[in-house]
Amino acid sequence: MAVRFPLYVKSLYESAERVPQPQAQAIDVVVRSRLDGAMASPFTADSPLASSVMASPNLDERCAPVELIVLHYTGMPEEDAALARLCDAEAKVSSHYVVRENGEVVQLVAEEKRAWHAGVSCWRGASDINSRSIGIEIVNPGHDGDCPPYPDPQIAAVIALCRDILARNGIRRDQVLAHSDIAPTRKQDPGEWFPWGRLAAEGVGLWVEPAPLDDTSGAEADAGEAAAFIGALAGYGYGITPADPPEVKAAVVAAFQRHFRPARGDGKVDRSSIETLRRLLAARQALVVGA
């Protein structure tokens, strides 16, 4: 597959014409830095679903086998500016794939390489999630952009891409995670409005029907129930211990709620969250046994 860098530059300059001057100047700087030698070596797309390759220089060698897919939102108002940042050597961030709003899939880093998307993170006791994962950035302005819904063509493309990656890399479906799952004190993406249930219906990620949230089930749990819930979260994979301070525990609980019980993500342990996690653990056990 040819690297379509000239078209990328053209699209960036077209984008720059539509944005305020300071942002346009920033795009110009990124494009010029790419043209002056920051462009990484071109490679062949790993997925047949990638319509183009825009090689990012922000990568290195993996230190562990791939076992996860991590989903992000770009969190920027302009999708071409987000692509520019992921390909800017000075930004020191990247992902393996970007999925545009129209469903176009762009690959930035070869899957055999370690992209820089996870940051300080942890899952099931392991750090260096960059080495262990394939990162997918989904174009969406995120919480700072009023949380717009993800377009149907974009979600369909995310599902297809994840299915392809899962199949080629032998990754179990429950190992598709949110950025906020692995970095709950720092990140909120892809957000509580991300349609995890739709993905799970297509074999991507694990999802159970959240327990109802009402006056009874939404009541805060007692200390013993809360402690057991924290232990169960750690058992599922979240980076949390009984010794963590209250603010860390609340951030991890909120991350779980944002992904699996999105009706309310206040970080408080309630009986609805407890029951939802119980269902989730049972579903994963059934998945493991049936594998």
Domain extent listing, the chain? 40-207, 212-290
Task: Give the lowest-confidence range in 2-16, 43-57, 105-119.
Answer: 2-16
| pLDDT cut 70: percent of the chain above it | 86
Domain 40-207 has CATH 3.30.1280.10: no
Crossing angle of helices 79-86 and 21-33, in 10° steps, is 40
5 pLDDT above the threshold of 90: no
Q: Annotated catalytic sites, by residue?
A: 137
pLDDT band (50, 70, 90) for residue 39: low
- Reported confidence tier of residue 22, pLDDT bands at 50, 70, 90: very low
More confident residue, 38 or 108: 108
Q: Say how far apart CA 108 and CA 40 lie, in whole Å.
A: 9
Rounded Cα–Cα distance for residues 274 and 270 (Å): 6
Chain-centroid distance, C-alpha 263: 20
Mean pLDDT, residues 187-202 taken together: 98
pLDDT tens, position by position, 137-164: 999 999 999 999 999 999 999 999 999 9
- Answer whether residue 30 shows pLDDT above 50: no
273-to-63, 91, 278 alpha-carbon distances in Å: 35, 37, 9
Report the CATH superfamily, name and number, of domain 212-290. Answer: PGBD-like superfamily/PGBD (1.10.101.10)
